[in-house]
Structure 1
Amino acid sequence: MLGYASGMAIFGYARVSTDGQSVDAQVKQLRVAGAEKVFRETASGAKTDRRELAHALKSLGEGDTLLVTRLDRLARSTRDLLNTLDTIAKAGAGFRSLSDTWADTTTPHGRLMLTVLGGLAEFERELIRARTSEGRARAKERGQHMGRPSKLTPHQKHEALKALVEGTASQADLARRFNVSQATISRLDSHV
């Protein structure tokens, strides 16, 4: 088992994107690297429901290792990779990629590299969030309406509010009159 303590298992995960491809080459590489059991899957990397990957992750225990031939066999994005690695870590297991030697959570160097990758992904998310927030603020300053368009015209809103204040119509009556849901009228009523 390539230097691993007894009782610790190495599981492999092999994936191809289409039915016309074969996982045989990946399985052979994983077996040579010490994988005792290999979970095989034919599924697009973009697909979120990868049943065999879920089985592989559930099989992991303390001290086990999940092995892949390349990172793109495991994850479709940096975020997906980090989420999967988090699941592996919570199981007390390690992760190794044969082609991406820096992606090895069984070594201090590999853990450092993946921590840096996680930090960069978090930094990128924060930048996107800040740019989006700034863009919304600028749009509001320009008077752009954010969100869904109103179901009621300004005139209809005025009429409905007037009727609600004077008590000449119920929310249900106004909803029928303006052909909207009662919830739409209710939101107006909460502003009175």
Structure 2
Amino acid sequence: MIVAYLRVSTERQHLINQRNEITKFAQARGMTIDRWEKEVVSGRCRKEDRNLGHLLKSLKSGDSLIVTELSRLSRTLYDIMSVLNNCLERKITVYSTKDGYAFDDSINSKVLAFAFGLVAEIERNLISLRTREALATRRQAGIRLGRPANYRPKHQLLNEKRERIADLLKQGVPVKTICLRYGFSRSTFYKHWKENKINPPSDRY
């Protein structure tokens, strides 16, 4: 199967030029486009959140993907390399008409696949390193990481709704019903009542 992928960032741009470019490219090589995939979305959007992500998953070994430029795949070099490396590993040929690239099963493409994979791994390591360094800097600055001590959102909700809950209990509304209404467990409910030295309602509720 031969698939053409067309993408523009805004509605004001037109896909027709990309379509004409790919049509000429295919005709010159005796290729027939089996599927046209079009979308209007920023290239900065993750491929998983675009039609491109679903398209790539549907491609099989021996299929071909044609774009007018590699930048149509993404606006970041890392994502472009990730897409190309994935296609090369799965024996999916990628053509870029304006760039003049053909990423196939040739030795040159295999060398590129190795280079792409290496760069992608280096980038992942750099991201991890930058994250660790940023966290270390925050610790040295005395900034507490993670959730605040005694962070208990359910107990906070119980505090905020205490008067309303007390009214419901006086009206005879069962504890189970109150817990379901506000989204906390019976154990949290009773623990909160005891910690705040309030006589908890009878278990008969």
Do the structures match in fold with TM over 0.5?
yes
TM-score, normalised to structure 1, is: 0.62
**Corresponding residue for 1:182?**
none
Shift of 1:125: 2.2
**Corresponding residue for 1:18?**
10
Q: For 1:61 and 1:171, how far apart are their aligned partners in 2?
A: 51
Identity of aligned residues (%): 32
**Corresponding residue for 1:50?**
50
Cα distance 1:55–1:174, how it changes in 2: closer, same or farther (>3 A)?
closer
Cα distance 1:16–1:172, how it changes in 2: closer, same or farther (>3 A)?
closer
Q: For 1:143 and 1:43, how far apart are their aligned partners in 2?
A: 41
**Corresponding residue for 2:39?**
41
Deviations 1:27-76 (A, max 9, x none): 1111122151332222222334323x345435533212101011111123
Say whether the 8 Å CA contact 1:78–1:121 is kept in structure 2: no
Say whether the 8 Å CA contact 1:102–1:113 is kept in structure 2: no
Shift of 1:105: 3.4
Q: For 1:39 and 1:175, how far apart are their aligned partners in 2?
A: 56
Q: Secondary structure of the residue that 1:15 maps to in structure 2?
A: strand
**Corresponding residue for 1:32?**
24
TM-score, normalised to structure 2, is: 0.58
Q: For 1:171 and 1:58, how far apart are their aligned partners in 2?
A: 44
Cα distance 1:173–1:120, how it changes in 2: closer, same or farther (>3 A)?
same
Q: For 1:63 and 1:173, how far apart are their aligned partners in 2?
A: 63
**Corresponding residue for 1:183?**
none
**Corresponding residue for 2:192?**
175
Report the residue type matching 1:93 in the other structure: I
Deviations 1:131-173 (A, max 9, x none): 4324434544565422122247xxxxxxxxxxxxxxxxx9766
Cα distance 1:45–1:102, how it changes in 2: closer, same or farther (>3 A)?
same
**Corresponding residue for 1:73?**
72
Unmatched segments (≥5 aa) in structure 1: 1-8, 153-169, 179-192
Q: Secondary structure of the residue that 1:150 maps to in structure 2?
A: coil
Query: When the two structures are aligned, how many residues end up with a matched partner?
Result: 152
Cα distance 1:150–1:50, how it changes in 2: closer, same or farther (>3 A)?
same
Report the residue type matching 2:9 in the other structure: S
Cα distance 1:132–1:18, how it changes in 2: closer, same or farther (>3 A)?
closer
Q: For 1:175 and 1:103, how far apart are their aligned partners in 2?
A: 65
Cα distance 1:147–1:22, how it changes in 2: closer, same or farther (>3 A)?
same
Report the residue type matching 2:192 in the other structure: A
Say whether the 8 Å CA contact 1:14–1:23 is kept in structure 2: yes
Query: What RMSD over aligned residues (CA atoms) do the two structures have, in Å?
Result: 3.1
Alignment of 1:87-106 (within 5 A): 87-89=86-88, 91-102=90-101, 104-106=103-105
